[in-house]
Chains A and B, each alone.
Chain A
Amino acid sequence: MNLFCIGLSHHTANVAIREEFAGNATAESIARDAGCAEALLLTTCNRVEVYGVSNKWISTDEIARSLMAKPNLSPDNYAPPFYRYEDNKCVQHLFRVASGLDSMVVGESEIFGQAKKAYESARRSGAVGPYLHRLFQRAFRVAKQVRTHTDIARGAVSVGSVAVELAQRIFGKLSECKVLVLGAGETSERTTRALVSRGVTDLRVSNRSLDRARELTQAVGGRAVPFDDWAAQCREIDILLTSTASETPLLTSEILAPMLWHRSDRPLFIIDLAVPRDVDPSVNELEGVYLYDIDSIRSVAEQSLALRRQQVAAAEAIIADHVTEFVDSISRGLNRASQPPGHSSLGENPLHASEL
């Protein structure tokens, strides 16, 4: 029995090539066209991969052709970006993919859900049999273990998620936080949505155009505040998210310092996404004020990525253990199934048995 993975990803092909092979086939059609005993198609924005089990050799060209929108193209046009993993390497590759180690943003968790969805879809169509079932169930287990036992998924890597993560590190639950959004543009809208998705309910939006502020509150909740009143809100709020087109800083230490007397035991988290900046950098020196501009947020995202990269070795070690154990268990299971009662000799490892 041959186990293989044939595919292309952001490592080997650009988006133009990837989209040539995405969305044209199903696990069922691949199993039928290529003659696989079992097949599973994993398609995401960064990869198109076919996991298959077959009794005979199946070439990369056959799989590539079954994935193509225009199967008449010459193999020279599509063969180079495809990679092929077999047996242990295939198991290892899937475990790495499910754990987010092969992703563009190392440790991202979206791939886990996408792999689950692909598995469910292939299972429903009947393209998944006992081998791929066991392989994918183990892959999901490995991915969970990697996330639990390493820091691979720690830290935020986008502006919105960094802002949310920092807010949670300061305040804990965000449901009790009062947030003022200054400037109702697209940039602040994305981050506001991220904050609202984590439980923020007391939201105030202030914009030079009150209508635009009202539009944003209609989209994400909260209430509009006249632009002239925004500074007074700093006495009450916990988080200030600012992104206006102002050429000069709107908030300085001189303006903010007197207001802090009324809120000495409550921190103030300021996210300044504007360029030029809306908040004077000296504000960060005030006690209890944590100011993050766009550069410092990017720096936090980079630190998170570096932290994730540090965890790759630990994750690889977990995966290596599981690959060995999984291949052994599969071979033991197959040996037992193929032996007549009373026969004691062991057969060869089925995942190595065929010359692929």
Chain B
Amino acid sequence: MERYFLIASTFCFLAAVAHTVIELRTGVFRPGRFNFLAIALGFIFQTAFLWIRGQELGRCPITNLFEVFVFLAWSVALVYMLVGSAYRLSLMGVFTAPLVLLLQGLALIAPIDTRHPVTVPANSWLEFHASMSLVAYGVFALACIAGVMYLLQERQLKMHQLHSIFYHLPPLTSLFAAITRLLWWGFALYTMGIVSGFFTGHPLPRIQIMAAIALWLLYAAILQARHLKWLAPKRVAALCIIGFSAALVLLWGITFTAELHHVP
């Protein structure tokens, strides 16, 4: 039953992507209400899916790679809805929808929705740790999207080739301010996620801990370099993309090893 909600949600994000592609093909690029409404509706269906799945499991629905992907997609949509309009980055929806579609599409197509027998009772610290980390990934995803927008705008300005999308992208300085804020928010949430991991009472594989700390150090280094003005904005934007790619690899690694050990 809950899978239908997820399929409906995926179609909403697909509609947003298709709308953008059609507009791009006709040379008219106007981020309007359609994208926001499609994402909002998709978010409602995602929430319904996660709520039903959570009720069924009696815990936060992040027990396998399938649920983790959906939860991450939900986090990305949530952060976009909270942040996108606040920073006047309505165009971010155009970039957010394909990412969410990719995550959910992958979750639906790949045979990764394997149910494991519940061996460990629900642990509020563990759930807090996992969900907080995933929401932090959602924020990093938005920073990555803002980074893509920055590089796109920067390249057009540098090459003197201005396309229709140029006139709808936010100014470079606004994009960079948004990237910086998103990095700080993501870093704060991720720190909370990592610290709470030490209170779960479960021994976690050392490789997971090392990888999570490495990712934390990467973002800390980006922020420090930004703070000390060692890095030009273009490099910070590029590092946001690299950072989120690393986060996705880490997420896959953590979930994969957790499934091997049947740790929810």
Contact = CB atoms under 8 A, between A and B. Distances in A.
A, B from the same assembly: yes
Interface of A: 149-151, 154-155, 166, 168-172, 264-265, 267, 284, 287-288, 290, 292, 296, 299-300, 303-304, 307, 310-311, 314
Contact of B173 (A149, A171, A314): A171
Nearest to A171: B173
B150 to A, nearest CB: 11
Contacts of B160: 292, 296, 299-300
Given A155-B162, A172-B174, A310 B27 contact: yes
B172 A264 contact: no
A168 B162 contact: no
A150 B28 contact: yes
Contacts of A307: 27, 164
21 contacts: A151-B29, A151-B167, A155-B162, A169-B153, A169-B157, A169-B169, A171-B171, A172-B170, A172-B173, A172-B174, A265-B176, A265-B229, A265-B232, A265-B233, A267-B173, A288-B234, A290-B157, A290-B158, A310-B28, A314-B26, A314-B28
Closest 7 A/B residue pairs (Cβ): A172-B171, A310-B27, A296-B160, A287-B232, A264-B229, A154-B167, A290-B157
B199 interface: no
Contact of A151 (B164, B233, B234): B164
A303 B226 CA distance: 35
Interface of B: 26-30, 153, 157-158, 160-162, 164, 166-167, 169-174, 176, 226, 229-234
Given A264-B230, A288-B233, A170 B30 contact: no
A265 B234 CA distance: 9
A170 B157 contact: yes
Contacts of A169: 153, 157, 166-167, 169, 171-172
A267 B226 CA distance: 15
Nearest to A297: B160
A84 B29 CA distance: 36
A171 B231 CA distance: 19
B6 to A, nearest CB: 34
Nearest to B26: A314
Contacts of A170: 157, 171-173
A303 B158 contact: no
Contacts of A314: 26, 28
Given A265-B232, A265-B233, A290-B157, A151 B173 contact: no
A172 B172 CA distance: 8
Name the residue among B26, B27, B161 with the largest chain A CB count within 10 angstroms. B27
Nearest to B172: A170
A41 B172 CA distance: 46
A310 B23 CA distance: 12
A267 B158 CA distance: 11
B231 A264 contact: yes
Contact of B158 (A284, A304, A310): A284
Nearest to B231: A264
Contacts of A154: 164, 167
A270 to B, nearest CB: 12
A336 B172 CA distance: 57
B174 A303 contact: no
A155 B232 CA distance: 28
A284 B158 CA distance: 7
A292 B162 CA distance: 13
